[in-house]
């Protein structure tokens, strides 16, 4: 069950992190990314993130421990949702000394 929880948590984090990169890349907008902020780089990173999340979920054998797996997936997704909700990608780019794209909406 420990392997299910660990891999499920990682799958939740990867899947939730892949979503904003994939969406911004598909819309042709810049978004903070450690490989560069360009839309194409984000689209590729998002696609690879979804693939990694699927592989981690498959390796987690969620069918053997469905409740623990669901809880771990949910917790991982929540962690990443909070990270992005607090503009963590912009913070991370700043910490790494990388340029940040202009925000799509004005911050109040």
Q: What is the pLDDT along the chain (108 residues), one digit of tens a residue?
A: 999 999 999 999 999 999 999 999 999 999 999 899 999 999 999 999 999 999 999 999 999 999 999 999 999 999 999 999 999 999 999 999 999 988 666 555
CB atoms near residue 71 (< 10 Å): 15
Record the tokens describing residue 29, joined without a space. 């907008």
pTM given for the model: 0.87
């Amino acid at each position: 069950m420990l392997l299910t929880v660990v891999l499920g948590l990682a799958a939740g984090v990867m899947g939730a992190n892949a979503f904003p990169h994939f969406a911004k890349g598909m819309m042709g907008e810049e978004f903070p990314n450690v490989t560069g902020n360009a839309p194409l780089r984000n689209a590729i990173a998002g696609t690879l993130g979804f693939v990694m999340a699927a592989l981690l979920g498959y390796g987690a054998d969620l069918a053997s421990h469905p409740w623990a797996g669901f809880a771990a997936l949910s917790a991982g997704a929540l962690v990443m949702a909070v990270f992005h909700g607090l503009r963590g990608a912009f913070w991370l780019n700043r910490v790494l000394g990388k340029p940040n794209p202009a925000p799509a909406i004005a911050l109040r």
